[in-house]
Structure 1
Amino acid sequence: MPRIILLGATGYTGSRVLANLAGKQADSGEIILVGRSADRLRAQARCAGLECDTVEADTSVPGALDRILREGDVLVTTVGPFVDLGREVARSAARAGAVYLDSTGEPPFVEWMFRNLGEAAESSGALLVPGFGYDYVPGNLAGWLAAVQAGERTSAIEVGYFMWSYDTVTGARSQPNLAAMMSTATSPGTRASLVKVLGTPSYAYRAAACDRFGLETERTADHLLHFSAAGKERPLITVGGSEHFGLPEVLPSLRSVDVGLGWFGSAAPAIHRMTRLAGPLTTNPIARRAAGMLAAHLPYRNSVPSIPIRITAVARARDRSGAVLAEAAVDGPDPYTLTADLLARGAAHFADGGDRPSGVHGPLTALTPNGLKTLAAECGLTTT
């Protein structure tokens, strides 16, 4: 049976993946933890009640995983920022013929993987699936569900992501304000990645673009989308995602894909205007380094999520004239619970063997749409 290799077991999300794997150990086969400190890894495994091997390695070093990975292994990584620390890990998985799943929410890293590792993964038989968590499984699933409802006239998909604070007694939902989003609703890693993403170029899918993936470069927050959610019309800033790659794989008639982040409420239009004014800075290396330094020194940098949160991903399908044909939504638990469950269940699924594609793919192609729908339901994602 293929082994499951976990990177990031001592981090916030990685420790949750480890706990989930520990609960499924009888079904998951051999589990190996890899990181810089074997002592910390062993302590984390004991905390989770897991019996497993540990390997000490600096995974940012080129080739460090080559001596560890075998063909068919399932590699799960939550170690970010992925644009800084993830490339050598992904390269090793592609060379080894492994299955690779990660928790990235960084569009530049997703694009880099599709553009640079597809050929190597096809050659070795590897399957690489970036963003196999809250980013970007719910949006891929909601987009596919909307397209299925709309039928063959579907030409465009728009996806929106929301997070809600909710009352555990009444179930009432509200949108956290910006201060809560940058402190009690998200993890330090999420906040750091978000600041970096806002300061980097992004992309959108346009089938007519002169690009082999059909992408057009644009700024993060280049456009505003609007969705009705939780009883109110809400603005979202456009961002990159794996939906731009994953939805056209299974829906070849698509002409455009847009993804919006609805975390900012009434601040979204101001962020949109700010990025329009600061657009030239997003290609300036000095400004991007400054954004990276800011991300590393944010307020509340040690604050972990402490309020009840749920998530929703909404999608709508449009025809060529722009008319809305159908809408679909998926609702689920907080991003970190969802991500850990998706990664652990996904790893166990691929460790079971069976047919799978090779190359770099979105989650719909990796699991098939119905397979993804089933796995998502097991993780608490429900359609509404």
Structure 2
Amino acid sequence: MTGSTPNQIIVFGATGYAGGLAVDALVRRGLRPVLAARSEHKLAPLAAEHCGLEYRVADVSDPTGMQALIGPGDVLVTGVGPFERVGWVAAEAAARSGAHYVDSTGEIGIVRELHSRHDVRARETGSVMLPAFGYDYVPGVLAGALAAEQGGAATGSIDIGYFATGLLWKGLSQGTRKTVAVGMTLPITGYRNGALANRRAAQEIERFTVRGVARNAILASGTEVLQLPARYPRLRQVRVFNGWFPELARPMQAASLLATTLSRSPLGRRVLDGALTRMAGPPGGPDAAERAKTRGLAVAIARASSGKVLAEVEVEGPSPYTVTAELMAMAAHRLALGLGHTPGVVGPIDGLGADEFPAACAEIGLARV
């Protein structure tokens, strides 16, 4: 799908790592997004690099400036995080103005809170809001939906595991390192016995078969626990696991327990803050050559209430960062063309349409193996 669109696409945080990749993906589609960030010093050369794209200076903490960026039917794409700290103003501006919204957050807490704060207003203004529309957590939603459909009416639970090929730790961005590290200290949201409930990160370890090989994965957060039960009410349990580092599953389980314990006291939090700062590493992320060495996979297992396996689905795509950029660009293009299905703070299936969603993912190289 290429060509011009009737509404503007604005990339907020265009000078950052995730935003820059989204700009590249949009330009490859023949689009000319508007670049936005707080530093004109960085925006001007980036705009020139892409043959004179329009750019605007805006700050994440300025509601008036954010509101001025967008109008009804426009699309706001944002990679500015951590979203739970700085993402609220941009999302509210979209919901109030009737602009569509796509972000790359991996933080399930903000997805739940965005729904609570802005779903009603977004439906009133016609805004389709797609938070967490990237590697976190579209591949798992796709794999889980395919497994639920294949498993049929007997499906009572779905387990989803995220895996990757290549030397992933060397190819992680600073933002991802921070998210992984901080995530070990926070409770994760799961769906059990038909209700949402918090658990400790890495509290459980599950084994998945990935490309014919058994691999461990630790319990992790994922918006699949919000979106799949809403789509398939028969589900009684949805769990999400991260298997990026299967050989470290047991040590990470112990580290999560230690981090959770330390976070309960002021001294412990200071110790954790120092450790997390050191783990984050330098700004930026992997370049194109490094991203090409990595593939992302999501595995979904559908089971009956008896525990019998009804379906196993494996979805594969390019590097997590490439997938995120391409997914955001694809969604932004469709929304700008008026192809969004359901206004409100919604998941990818409702936002793009149940029939269109798998094909839209395949368009960017994310598909069932």
Q: Same fold (TM over 0.5)?
A: yes
Deviation at 1:241, TM superposition (A): 1.2
Deviation at 1:290, TM superposition (A): 5.5
Q: Secondary structure of 2:323's partner?
A: helix
Aligned partners of 2:215 and 2:246 also within 8 Å? yes
Deviation at 1:136, TM superposition (A): 0.7
- TM-score, structure 1 normalization: 0.87
In the alignment, the residues of structure 2 paired with residue 268 and residue 204 of structure 1 have an alpha-carbon distance, to the nearest angstrom, of 19
Structure 2 residue aligned with 1:270: 251
Aligned partners of 1:33 and 1:55 also within 8 Å? yes
Structure 2 residue aligned with 1:44: 46
Paired AA for residue 47 in structure 1: E
Aligned partners of 2:302 and 2:312 also within 8 Å? yes
Q: Secondary structure of 1:257's partner?
A: strand
Deviation at 1:63, TM superposition (A): 4.0
Distance 1:114 1:11, change over 3 A: same
Is there any run of 5+ residues in structure 1 with no aligned partner, and where?
Answer: 166-175, 210-214
Structure 2 residue aligned with 1:18: 23
Distance 1:354 1:310, change over 3 A: closer
Is there any run of 5+ residues in structure 2 with no aligned partner, and where?
Answer: 1-5
Aligned partners of 1:113 and 1:360 also within 8 Å? yes
1:233-312 mapped onto 2 (5 Å cutoff): 233-276=214-257, 278-282=259-263, 287=268, 291-292=272-273, 294-298=275-279, 300-302=281-283, 304-305=285-286, 306=290, 308-312=293-297
Paired AA for residue 179 in structure 2: S
Q: Let me know the Cα RMSD of the aligned residues.
A: 2.1
Q: Secondary structure of 2:165's partner?
A: strand
Aligned partners of 2:184 and 2:259 also within 8 Å? no
Aligned partners of 1:4 and 1:75 also within 8 Å? yes
In the alignment, the residues of structure 2 paired with residue 333 and residue 126 of structure 1 have an alpha-carbon distance, to the nearest angstrom, of 29
Q: Secondary structure of 1:39's partner?
A: helix
Structure 1 ranges of 4+ moved more than 6 A: none
1:327 aligns with 2:312: yes
Deviation at 1:23, TM superposition (A): 2.3
Q: Secondary structure of 2:66's partner?
A: coil
Q: Secondary structure of 1:298's partner?
A: helix
Distance 1:141 1:297, change over 3 A: same
Structure 2 residue aligned with 1:367: 352
Identity among equivalent pairs (%): 38
Structure 1 residue aligned with 2:160: 159
Paired AA for residue 321 in structure 1: S
Size of the aligned set, in residue pairs, is 360
Q: Secondary structure of 2:132's partner?
A: coil
Deviation at 1:353, TM superposition (A): 0.8
In the alignment, the residues of structure 1 paired with residue 238 and residue 106 of structure 2 have an alpha-carbon distance, to the nearest angstrom, of 17
Structure 2 residue aligned with 1:59: 60
Deviations 1:81-109 (CA, angstroms, capped at 9, x unpaired): 11122121112111112211111112222
Paired AA for residue 178 in structure 2: A
Distance 1:10 1:233, change over 3 A: same
- TM-score, structure 2 normalization: 0.91
